[in-house]
Amino acid sequence: MTAAPAPATSARPKLRLGVLGSGSGSNCQAILDACARPEFPAQVAVVVSDVENARILERARQAGVEALHIAPGKFRTKLEPEVEQQYVAALRERQVELVCLAGFMRVLKQGFLNAFPGRIINIHPSLLPAFPGLESWKQALNYGVKVTGCTVHFVDAGIDAGPIILQAAVPVLDDDTPESLHQRIHEQEHRIYPEAIRLLAEGKISIEGRRVVVCRQ
Ligand code: GAR
């Protein structure tokens, strides 16, 4: 089965992205930079944050992209159901075709997932299924693995659990601190996230069960 974003043709308009984030937005910046290249097959239609003063919103404004804050409501780790529908409505109003989570620190529930079936992706700072959850680079360091990395995956109802699109490995060095390791993971994230978006936009990704198959021709 081909993943939801439509097959590319030379006439196809650019895939419209909605980027969601809660923090610094360095991955969003990598996506904005990729989208600024004329040949890149996607464009950022809107950046949405649950955090009013998040740097990700500033990055969007600087790139000339609409930046939207939608307050999350009373929960700490998810959106209130009514708020979730506000997110969905905002994305639909802007004809978003692919939702890209970029450091969005809230779990999306079924109402959101149903609105964009197979069309929500996430970047995670570990080689999933190892170290899901928070601060995965610290988890990797504390566990003592010699290789960690990052993963772009489809979002499903599990935590950091959907089918894997791309991964990149990052060696763990003996003198790494959490910060130095996260920095090198970030560098790989900034490379593979735009690459995964490009593959989706060009219709080069299909899903067979849990396996995502990439056609690179
Ligand atoms: C990134 O490292 C991303 O992988 C991680 O948050 C960071 C956001 O950085 N996401 C998760 O841990 C999701 N489970 P950024 O705001 O600079 O892009």
**23-39 pLDDT tens trace:** 999 999 999 999 999 99
For ligand 1, the distance from its centroid to the CA atom of residue 105, given in whole angstroms, is: 8
In the chain, the amino acid numbered 215 is C
pLDDT the model gives residue 140: 98
pLDDT bucket at 12, cuts 50 / 70 / 90: confident
Of the candidates 18, 60, 25, 21, the one whose C-alpha atom is nearest the C-alpha of residue 43 is: 18
DSSP H stretches of helix in 50-158: 55-62, 81-93, 110-115, 136-143
Whole-number Å distance between alpha carbons of 67 and 48: 6
> Catalytic: 190?
no
Annotated domain spans of the chain: 15-214
| Greatest Cα-to-Cα distance within the chain, rounded to the nearest angstrom | 50
pLDDT the model gives residue 8: 47
Burial of 111 by CB count in 10 Å (0-12 exposed, 13-18 middle, 19+ buried)? Answer: middle
Determine the average pLDDT of the residues in 61-78. Answer: 94
Query: Is the pLDDT assigned to residue 11 strictly greater than 90?
Result: no
| CATH code for residues 15-214 | 3.40.50.170
Verify whether ligand 1 is closer than 6 Å to residue 22 (CB atom): no
Whole-number Å distance between alpha carbons of 152 and 203: 16
Q: Ligand 1: which of 19, 26, 27 to mutate, judged by most atoms within 8 Å of the beta carbon?
A: 27
pLDDT the model gives residue 76: 87
